């Protein structure tokens, strides 16, 4: 009985998969934030290097992974696919549960899968410094690691409430050689403006994105990087689904149900997109996206054009959104607190390929405890959403059903959240229907 399905290093995929040419309908284009016309790729050049802009709009089905990226990937890839026998036994299910373990990366999550190529492409185009935002700190950690691998400077704007609640990620970012500032900060016009109105503003991802973009466009040597949502990020994350496909084949399994948690959608999309052609050709497969009740973008948001940030500097993207002014309650899954969603994921959800469900954080931590006490590893609170859905689905599944979820990160720097849970102090947060309608009013009225 195999537990860990290990792909030999020389079988690591050397191309990323682009789902767009395989979809029955084209993706609605990004729009310019001022003219509201479809944006020209060159208009993104002040923010991103050209090679990433080309990937953003590419219709090539496969994109070769450059060798210097493969070389850094090999520090932790291929990652194991693990059969969770002990979790199965504890649930009392006869379904088979596998998890793709992305927590083994240096940063402890799936995010280096895109941070590494983003740093590499910036380096090849002469960029010296990258600015970015981070919520709970996983993306900032991943990008500061990747920048160090390619000799780039890195500046991170970290949502202030996380910066204060979770100091360890900030320390790790600095240990990788990057600088990190709580956002809103005094370093940008937008940050100063917010602090004038509210000196105690705890920030949000949308605010930190505005600051990081302002930083990048105001300097010639700096570009901006985003850790989720965009097409090129999703492209890079398909390495996990491609490996999973090979590993399930090695185990002699046919995938029935794929599950992942959703913030901006990158780990979930990375897992499922390589299986989309199989589903489109009629194979019965379920893709289940899991989000917090406190930030219910897919289950309760609207599919429409919206900005990616509070200052409205980003292009308009057609996506599931709760409104760009949405300030989600401070739940412990910082990585899932974003108002928007990957346009690719939103699009395939609209095409009926994805089911979504939402959970409260207490039940999510209960699921995390069951996983920890059976499989032994401490999951990130974000990841635990996927675990909760896996447990629920496995309970009802027919014997032999193959369920695979993406284990997006470890929770070793989230012990404060576990402490709160263990003391019985964790509160469930929900966003009321009225609040959602109010926040959605800020979305621009554009067609398509």
Ligand X SMILES: *Cc1c(COP(=O)(O)O)cnc(C)c1O
Q: Are 117 and 66 in contact (CB under 8 A)?
A: yes
> Please, how many CA atoms are within 13 Å of residue 222, restricted to the half-sphere of its CB?
16
Choices 41-49, 259-267, 323-331, 430-438 (CB under 6 A): range interacting with ligand X: 259-267
* Residues contacting 395, CB < 8 A, separation 6+: 91, 92, 93
265 sits near ligand X (criterion: CB under 6 A): yes
Task: Output the smallest distance, CB 439 to ligand X, in A.
Answer: 20
Binding residue for ligand X (CB under 6 A) from 101, 118, 188, 228? 228
Tell me which residues in 332-351 interact with ligand X (CB under 6 A).
Answer: 335-336
Choices 147-155, 165-173, 260-268, 436-444 (CB under 6 A): range interacting with ligand X: 260-268
Residue nearest to ligand X (CB): 409
Binding residue for ligand X (CB under 6 A) from 261, 295, 298, 403? 261
Strands 153-159 and 81-83: unpaired
Choices 42-50, 113-121, 203-211, 255-263 (CB under 6 A): range interacting with ligand X: 255-263
d(CA 9, CA 7): 6
d(CA 165, CA 85): 35
Structure token digits, residue 217: 């466009």
Angstrom CA distances, 444 to 109, 144, 257, 317, 332, stand at 34, 34, 36, 11, 30
Cβ closest to ligand X, residue 155 vs residue 240: 240
d(CA 238, CA 254): 18
Choices 17-25, 151-159, 240-248, 264-272 (CB under 6 A): range interacting with ligand X: 264-272
Enumerate the β-bridge partners of residue 359: 292
Tell me which residues in 356-415 interact with ligand X (CB under 6 A).
Answer: 380, 382-383, 408-409
Tell me which residues in 159-188 interact with ligand X (CB under 6 A).
Answer: none
Cβ closest to ligand X, residue 238 vs residue 408: 408
Binding residue for ligand X (CB under 6 A) from 248, 262, 348, 367? 262
Q: Rounded to 10 degrees, what is the CA torsion of 312, 316, 318, 320?
A: -10
264 sits near ligand X (criterion: CB under 6 A): yes
Positions touching ligand X (CB under 6 A) are 109, 111, 138-139, 228, 261-267, 335-336, 380, 382-383, 408-409
């Amino acid at each position: 009985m195999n537990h860990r399905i290990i792909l030999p290093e020389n079988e690591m995929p050397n191309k990323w998969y682009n789902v767009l040419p395989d979809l029955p309908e084209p993706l609605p284009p990004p729009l310019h934030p001022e003219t509201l016309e479809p944006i020209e790729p060159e208009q993104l050049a002040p923010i991103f290097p050209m090679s990433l802009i080309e990937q953003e709009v590419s219709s090539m089905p496969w994109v070769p992974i450059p060798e210097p990226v493969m070389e850094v990937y090999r520090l932790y890839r291929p990652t194991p696919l693990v059969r969770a026998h002990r979790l199965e036994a504890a649930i009392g299910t006869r379904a088979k549960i596998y998890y793709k373990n992305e927590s083994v990366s240096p940063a402890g999550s799936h995010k280096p899968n895109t941070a590494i190529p983003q740093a590499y492409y910036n380096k090849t185009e002469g960029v010296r410094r990258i600015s970015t935002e981070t919520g709970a700190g996983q993306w900032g950690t991943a990008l500061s690691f990747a920048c160090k691998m390619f000799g780039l400077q890195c500046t991170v704007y970290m949502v202030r409430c996380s910066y204060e609640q979770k100091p360890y990620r900030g320390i790790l970012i600095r240990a990788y050689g990057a600088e990190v500032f709580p956002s809103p900060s005094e370093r940008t016009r937008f940050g100063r403006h917010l602090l004038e109105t509210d000196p105690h503003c705890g920030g949000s991802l949308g605010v930190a994105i505005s600051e990081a973009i302002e930083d990048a466009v105001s300097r010639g040597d700096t570009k901006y990087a985003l850790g989720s949502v965009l097409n090129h990020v999703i492209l890079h994350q398909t390495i996990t689904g491609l490996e999973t496909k090979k590993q399930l084949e090695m185990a002699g399994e046919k995938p029935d149900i794929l599950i992942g948690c959703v913030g901006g959608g990158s780990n979930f999309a990375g897992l499922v997109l390589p299986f989309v052609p199989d589903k489109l050709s009629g194979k019965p497969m379920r893709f289940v996206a899991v989000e917090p009740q406190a930030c219910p973008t897919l289950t309760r948001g609207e599919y429409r054009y919206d900005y990616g940030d509070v200052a409205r500097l980003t292009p308009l993207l057609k996506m599931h959104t709760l409104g760009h002014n949405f300030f989600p309650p401070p739940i412990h899954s910082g990585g899932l607190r974003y108002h928007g969603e990957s346009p690719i994921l939103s699009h395939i959800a609209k095409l009926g390929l994805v089911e979504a469900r939402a959970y409260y954080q207490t039940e999510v931590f209960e699921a995390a405890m069951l996983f920890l006490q059976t499989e032994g590893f401490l999951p990130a609170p974000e990841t635990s959403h996927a675990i909760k859905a896996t447990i629920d689905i496995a309970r009802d599944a027919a014997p032999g059903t193959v369920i695979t979820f993406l284990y997006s990160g470890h929770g070793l720097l989230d012990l404060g959240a576990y402490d709160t849970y263990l003391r019985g102090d964790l509160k469930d947060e929900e966003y009321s229907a009225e609040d959602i309608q109010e926040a959605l009013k800020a979305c621009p009225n554009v067609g398509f």
